[in-house]
Amino acid sequence: MPGTPNSLYPTTKPGRLAGKRACITGGSRGIGLAIAEMFRGEGADVVTCGRGDRPKTLSEDIGWIKVDLRRPEGVLGFRDDIMALIGAPDILVNNAGVQAEKTVVTSSYDDWDAVVGLNAKSVFACCRAILPALIGRGGGSIVNIGSISGLQPDPSMALYNASKAFVHGLTRSIALDHGRDGIRCNTICPGWIETGMADAAFARAMDPDRARTDALNRHPIGRFGTPEDVAGAALWLASDEAAFVTGQMLIVDGGLTAATPVRPDLF
């Protein structure tokens, strides 16, 4: 429990995750950073990671591990560092990911290693490494960050689309195989979220401003999402409020995929 010698925190704030221990991959910015901060704000002991040095924007009471999750030894080191900092976790959030704006023909094997290695292989590896600790705690919650692109592919994003579809399938398999171990596993499928990845996607369009405006007009809610929108969904899935929810793909996209391809602003 928080407050034990291997904990980062002497006390735990009251909140929806009070008494929980959470590890989150890819917490240096964007969605991962928002999840780490929200979980800590709700009382969890939190450790996150990235390939670079600790970001200055990360709260001081959140643990940081510098690691490359594409390497098997990196994943095992990440697991061991988590255990040393906060003990066996209750929550794993697989958020780390990258994209490559290419088709199958224009993608290289290096692109495969970069995109699939992080978006798919590292998710499998982290689940495989940390599941025994979750089971040892009597159960826990795994929240994977997928994408609507794994359901309805984006053009010229072949490896990214495929890697996210893998995450969706892995999520259902874990939910099926480990439900009786007390494990819940779900995926969040974000749509257009205001992050660097979204900016890069619009930048590759022939007319970036027109592409952004058109995408915005396809959202019934009238805006793009924020990292905090995704973090709120992750918080719910990680909490006991979602105790009967597992094996699900929770779409967080402002209604984008609920609409037909016809632009609603023209009617």
Q: Which residues does the annotation mark as catalytic?
A: 160
Neighbours of 197 (CB within 10 A): 17
Backbone angles phi, psi at 211, to 5 degrees: -65, -40
Buried b (16+ CB within 10 A) or exposed e, 54-71: beeebeeebbbbebbbbe
Using CA atoms, how far apart are residues 170 and 123, in angstroms rounded to an integer?
9
Backbone angles phi, psi at 222, to 5 degrees: 90, 10
* Rounded (10°) CA dihedral 129, 133, 134, 139: 140
Using CA atoms, how far apart are residues 244 and 7, in angstroms rounded to an integer?
29
**Half-sphere exposure (Cβ direction) of 167: Cα atoms closer than 13 Å:** 37
Strand 63-66 with 183-190, pairing: unpaired
What is the secondary structure of 223-262 as a DSSP string? S-B-HHHHHHHHHHHHSGGGTT--S-EEEESTTGGGS-SS
Using CA atoms, how far apart are residues 178 and 131, in angstroms rounded to an integer?
9
Query: What's the N-to-C CA distance of the chain in angstroms?
Result: 56
Q: Is 45 helix (H, G, I), strand (E, B) or coil?
A: strand
Residue type, 72: P
Q: Let me know how long the chain is.
A: 267
